[in-house]
C-alpha cells in the first residue's frame, strides 16, 4: 500500500469512529446484536466495537485490530466523580510482557512498540448500574505514541522494565516502578506466575499499561483541539519531556524552601494553596511541572504552622461504594490514583503562604498489601451494612489509624454525608475519606 492510500484508509477509519460518538454499544450493534461475539472479560468493549462499528470479526492470529494499517483499537473507560466530572477510570492495559522475549529485544523492534505505536482511542462512559452494552461512546481519535512529548519517558520506562528482567528481578516489577509505561497485573483475582530467564524465582504475569495521568493528558489535549490525525500526516517537531530523578526533584524543592507564593493564591477554592503552588511551578520550572503532570506522581499540599508533618495526609479520595463493591483492588481507581503513586507533599505555612518544607515518598510493598486489606475490609463492611439494613442507622466500622495498616479512613472534612444508589436503592452514608498514616511517610 502506498503512502497516499495508507493515509486515506487511516482517515476513513477515523471518520467511521467519529460517527460512533454519543451512541451506546447496543445502538451501534443495532439489529446485528445477536451476531456480535465477545468474551466476558475486560476486552468485551473492544470486541463489540470492532464488530459493530468496523465490521471486523474476532480473529486470534492478528497483531493489530486493523492489520493492514498496523492500527490498534483501544477503548478507554471514563467515570463520573462526585462533582459529576468525567475522569479516567483506570489505566490502559496494552499487550502482554513475555520475559523470555523482552530480554532479546531492542525497543525499536519490540512487540510493545510494534503493537502500540498507532492507537485508535475510543473513550466510553462506564456506569456500574448499567449493562455494559448501554455504555455510551464519548470520543474517538487516533494517536501516534512516537510523536508525543512523553515518548522519551516511555522508552526509558520500557528499558527499565527490560533491565529488571535481564537482572533476574522480574518479581520486583510493579506499577509504581516506572513513570508513564507500567508493568501491570491484569487481575487481582487471577494471579498467574511465570518463569523468567535469569532466575529460578517465579514472577507474576504482567502486561504493559499507560498510567491514568498520561491518559488524562492526551484526552485533554484532544479536547483542547490538538488534532492527532494531523500530527500523524504531518512531520511536526516534538519537544520531549525532560526526565527527572528523585534526587533532582529534591534538589529543586530544597532550593525553593522559604519562597512566598502569596501572589499565586488568588483563588477561593478549597485547594487554593495547591493550585497556587502548581501555578508557581508552571511559571518557574515548566519542565518539572510537565513531568509531574504526566508521570506516576501525585502532587499534594499540607498547611502547617511549622516545617514538620504532625498527622496523616488526606488523599482527597472519598469512599466510592460502587467501585469498592464492583472492582478488584488492582483494577480500582483507588489503587491507580492513590496506592501506586509517588507523593510530593508541599508544606505551606498558613499565615505567610511560604513554602516551609516538602516530603517525597511512596508506599512500600508491605504498605500496598496493608492497603489491599483495608480496601477489602471496607468492602465487607459496606456489604454488611446493606445486608443487615443498617446503612445510615449504624456508624461504619472502617479501618482506623490505630489499626496500623498504612491507610485508614476518617470522616471527610469537606462533606458530612454522601448519597449513593446501589442495586436500585438509595443510601445515605457518612462521607469518609482515605488518609495515609504518618508512619508510611516517615519510614
Residue 181 bridge partners (DSSP): 210
Residue 311 grid cell:
498527622
> What distance in Å separates the CA atoms of residue 203 and residue 306, rounded to the nearest whole number?
45
> What distance in Å separates the CA atoms of residue 348 and residue 271, rounded to the nearest whole number?
12
User: pLDDT grade, residue 316 (50/70/90)?
Assistant: confident
Q: What are 277-299's pLDDT values in tens digits?
A: 999 999 999 999 999 999 999 99
Asked whether the beta carbons of 240 and 149 are under 8 A apart, the reply is yes
- pTM comes to 0.90
- Kindly report the backbone phi and psi dihedral angles of residue 200, in degrees, each rounded to the nearest multiple of 5, phi listed first: -90, -5
Domain 3-233 indexed as CATH 3.30.420.40: no
Q: What are 217-246's pLDDT values in tens digits?
A: 999 988 877 666 677 777 666 677 889 999
- Eight-class DSSP state of 331: G
Asked whether the beta carbons of 432 and 412 are under 8 A apart, the reply is yes
Integer-rounded Cα Rg, in Å, for the chain is 23
Residue 180 grid cell:
508513564
User: pLDDT grade, residue 176 (50/70/90)?
Assistant: confident
Burial of 252 (0-12, 13-18, 19+ CB in 10 A): middle
- Kindly report the backbone phi and psi dihedral angles of residue 361, in degrees, each rounded to the nearest multiple of 5, phi listed first: -160, 170
Q: What are 64-115's pLDDT values in tens digits?
A: 999 999 999 999 999 988 777 899 999 999 999 999 999 999 999 999 999 9
User: Which strands, in side-by-side order, build the sheet including 342-349?
Assistant: 297-304, 342-349, 355-362
Beta strands 181-184 and 199-204: pairing type?
unpaired
**Architecture of the 246-441 domain:** 3-Layer(aba) Sandwich (3.40)
Please give the pLDDT value at position 253. Answer: 97
Beta strand ranges found along 242-354 (DSSP E): 297-304, 313-318, 342-349
Amino acid at each position: 500500500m502506498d503512502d497516499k492510500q495508507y493515509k486515506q484508509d487511516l482517515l476513513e477509519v477515523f471518520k467511521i469512529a467519529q460517527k460512533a460518538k454519543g451512541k451506546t454499544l447496543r445502538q451501534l450493534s443495532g439489529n446485528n446484536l445477536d451476531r456480535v461475539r465477545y468474551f466476558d472479560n475486560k476486552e468485551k468493549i473492544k470486541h463489540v466495537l470492532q464488530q459493530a462499528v468496523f465490521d471486523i470479526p474476532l480473529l486470534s492470529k492478528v497483531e493489530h485490530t486493523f492489520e493492514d494499517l498496523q492500527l490498534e483499537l483501544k477503548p478507554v473507560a471514563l467515570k463520573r466523580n462526585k462533582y459529576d466530572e468525567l475522569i479516567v477510570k483506570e489505566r490502559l492495559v496494552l499487550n502482554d510482557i513475555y520475559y523470555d522475549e523482552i530480554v532479546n529485544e531492542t525497543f525499536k523492534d519490540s512487540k510493545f512498540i510494534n503493537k502500540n505505536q498507532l492507537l485508535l482511542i475510543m473513550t466510553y462512559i462506564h456506569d456500574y448500574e448499567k449493562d455494559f452494552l448501554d455504555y455510551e461512546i464519548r470520543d474517538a481519535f487516533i494517536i501516534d505514541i512516537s510523536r508525543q512529548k512523553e515518548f522519551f519517558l516511555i522508552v526509558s520506562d520500557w528499558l527499565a522494565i527490560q533491565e529488571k528482567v535481564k537482572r533476574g528481578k522480574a518479581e520486583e516489577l510493579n506499577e509504581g516502578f516506572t513513570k508513564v509505561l507500567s508493568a501491570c497485573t491484569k487481575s487481582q483475582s487471577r494471579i498467574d506466575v511465570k518463569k523468567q530467564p535469569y532466575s529460578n524465582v517465579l514472577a507474576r504475569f504482567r502486561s504493559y499499561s499507560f498510567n491514568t495521568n498520561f491518559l488524562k493528558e492526551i484526552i485533554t489535549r484532544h479536547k483542547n483541539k490538538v488534532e492527532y490525525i494531523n500530527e500523524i500526516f504531518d512531520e511536526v517537531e516534538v519537544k520531549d519531556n525532560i526526565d527527572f530523578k528523585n534526587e533532582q526533584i529534591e534538589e529543586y524543592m530544597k532550593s525553593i524552601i522559604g519562597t512566598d507564593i502569596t501572589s499565586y493564591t488568588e483563588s477561593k477554592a478549597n485547594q487554593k494553596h495547591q493550585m497556587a503552588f502548581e501555578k508557581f511551578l508552571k511559571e518557574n520550572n515548566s519542565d518539572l511541572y510537565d513531568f509531574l503532570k504526566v508521570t506516576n506522581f501525585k502532587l499534594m499540599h499540607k498547611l502547617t504552622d511549622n516545617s514538620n508533618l504532625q498527622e496523616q495526609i488526606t488523599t482527597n479520595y472519598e469512599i466510592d461504594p460502587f467501585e469498592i463493591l464492583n472492582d478488584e483492588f488492582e483494577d480500582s481507581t483507588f489503587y491507580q490514583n492513590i496506592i501506586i503513586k509517588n507523593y510530593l507533599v508541599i508544606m505551606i505555612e498558613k499565615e505567610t503562604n511560604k513554602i516551609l518544607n516538602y516530603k517525597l515518598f511512596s508506599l512500600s510493598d508491605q504498605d500496598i498489601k496493608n492497603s489491599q486489606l483495608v480496601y477489602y475490609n471496607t468492602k465487607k463492611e459496606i456489604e454488611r451494612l446493606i445486608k443487615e439494613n443498617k446503612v445510615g442507622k449504624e456508624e461504619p466500622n472502617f479501618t482506623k489509624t490505630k489499626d496500623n495498616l498504612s491507610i485508614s479512613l476518617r470522616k471527610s472534612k469537606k462533606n458530612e454525608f454522601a448519597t449513593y444508589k446501589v442495586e436500585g436503592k438509595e443510601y445515605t452514608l457518612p462521607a469518609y475519606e482515605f488518609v495515609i498514616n504518618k508512619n508510611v511517610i516517615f519510614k
